[in-house]
């Protein structure tokens, strides 16, 4: 076979050679482009200009954009389909994929919120510790509709945890303690029901007390020198056993400062 015959034989496969070569070039260009972009994003994160979540999101966007450009080129080489049409279809698919990926976490958190609310694994006001991956978070539970569970720490800080993360975490309900108080209130023409309500409302403002555990019972009503004396038994549960001293002090201070009556308090046993 002479050179002319060889060239003629190769010419019969020119379309196949062109197509394969084009696909290889497109794939190499896509790989190189993604590698360069990834390296740039990594350097930005090392310099603390980006955090890891943003870096991963940008990598995903870049990968989708490269795919939206490269796939139409490959398909146009294989099937002789107009490139403009393929780009339009690819961009539409890219948009749909982006919407699905963007809404996936939101939907997962909303469904997880419903599961948490129905199951009662954690309840409003409970003091818990949540071990998530290598971190621990501790505070009072503030259930709210949306994507995040809120934990209020003893220092007043709020920690937000995605509801979907609770399924892969360890939830520890911390031990609590019961505080018993005997409250003796003096006053002229005091209304018993109103006094009980005032005491309950005052205790509900204590940040170390579980609002759902407050119990105020009437122990006795008497008269001393035309002055009515009302004795109440107050019981409340602390949110955290470690804060029992703070809870007791806060409870007494709150009652003394907020009750518009002459009151004396004593701690009863039974904590």
Residues 22 and 52 in one domain: yes
Residues 143 and 41 in one domain: no
- Quick one: what percent of the chain has pLDDT higher than 90? 1
Give the whole-angstrom CA distance, residue 264 versus residue 90. 77
Going along 88-157, which residue ranges are E strands? 127-132, 135-142, 148-152
Question: Averaged over 58-87, what is the pLDDT?
Answer: 75
The count of domains in the chain is 3
Question: What predicted TM-score, i.e. pTM, was given to this entire model?
Answer: 0.43
What pLDDT, on a 0 to 100 scale, did the predictor assign at position 271?
Answer: 44
Domain boundary among 65, 80, 114: 114
What pLDDT, on a 0 to 100 scale, did the predictor assign at position 270?
Answer: 42
Domain boundary among 134, 150, 173: 173
Residues 18 and 53 in one domain: yes
pLDDT by residue (tens digit) across 173-211? 877 778 888 888 887 777 888 888 888 888 888 877 877
Reported as a pLDDT band with limits 50, 70 and 90, residue 47 is: confident
Residues 20 and 100 in one domain: yes
| Residue 150 structural domain | 121-173
Nearest to 235 by CA among 248, 254, 246: 248
Domain boundary among 71, 94, 114: 114
Give the whole-angstrom CA distance, residue 84 versus residue 82. 6
Residues 186 and 234 in one domain: yes
Residues 100 and 9 in one domain: yes
Residues 104 and 204 in one domain: no
* Rg value, the chain, Cα: 34
Nearest to 264 by CA among 234, 223, 225, 226: 234
Residues 73 and 137 in one domain: no
Token couple for 255: 């009652």
Reported as a pLDDT band with limits 50, 70 and 90, residue 14 is: low
Give me the count of residues in the chain.
Answer: 271
Residues 10 and 68 in one domain: yes
Residues 139 and 205 in one domain: no
Residues 163 and 205 in one domain: no
């Amino acid at each position: 076979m002479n050179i002319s015959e060889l060239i003629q034989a190769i010419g019969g496969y020119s379309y196949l050679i062109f197509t394969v070569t084009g696909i290889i070039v497109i794939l190499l260009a896509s790989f190189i482009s993604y590698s360069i972009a990834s390296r740039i994003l990594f350097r930005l994160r090392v310099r603390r200009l980006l955090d890891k979540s943003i870096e991963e999101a940008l990598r995903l966007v870049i990968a989708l954009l490269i795919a939206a450009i490269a796939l139409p080129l490959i398909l146009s080489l294989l099937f002789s389909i107009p490139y403009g049409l393929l780009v339009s279809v690819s961009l539409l698919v890219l948009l749909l994929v982006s919407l699905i990926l963007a809404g996936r976490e939101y939907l997962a958190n909303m469904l997880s919120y419903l599961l948490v609310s129905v199951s009662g694994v954690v309840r409003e006001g409970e003091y818990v510790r949540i071990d998530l991956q290598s971190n621990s978070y501790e505070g009072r539970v503030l259930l709210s509709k949306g994507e995040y569970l809120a934990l209020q720490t003893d220092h007043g800080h709020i920690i937000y945890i995605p509801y979907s993360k609770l399924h892969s975490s360890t939830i520890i309900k911390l031990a609590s303690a019961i505080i018993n108080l005997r409250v003796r209130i003096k006053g002229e023409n005091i209304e018993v029901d109103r006094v009980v309500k005032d005491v309950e409302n005052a205790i509900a403002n204590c940040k170390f007390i579980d609002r759902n555990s407050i119990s105020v019972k009437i122990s006795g009503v008497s008269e001393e020198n035309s002055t009515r004396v009302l004795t109440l038994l107050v019981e409340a549960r602390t949110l955290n056993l470690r804060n029992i001293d703070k809870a007791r002090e806060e409870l007494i201070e709150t009652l003394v400062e907020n009750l518009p009556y002459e009151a004396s308090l004593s701690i009863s046993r039974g904590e």
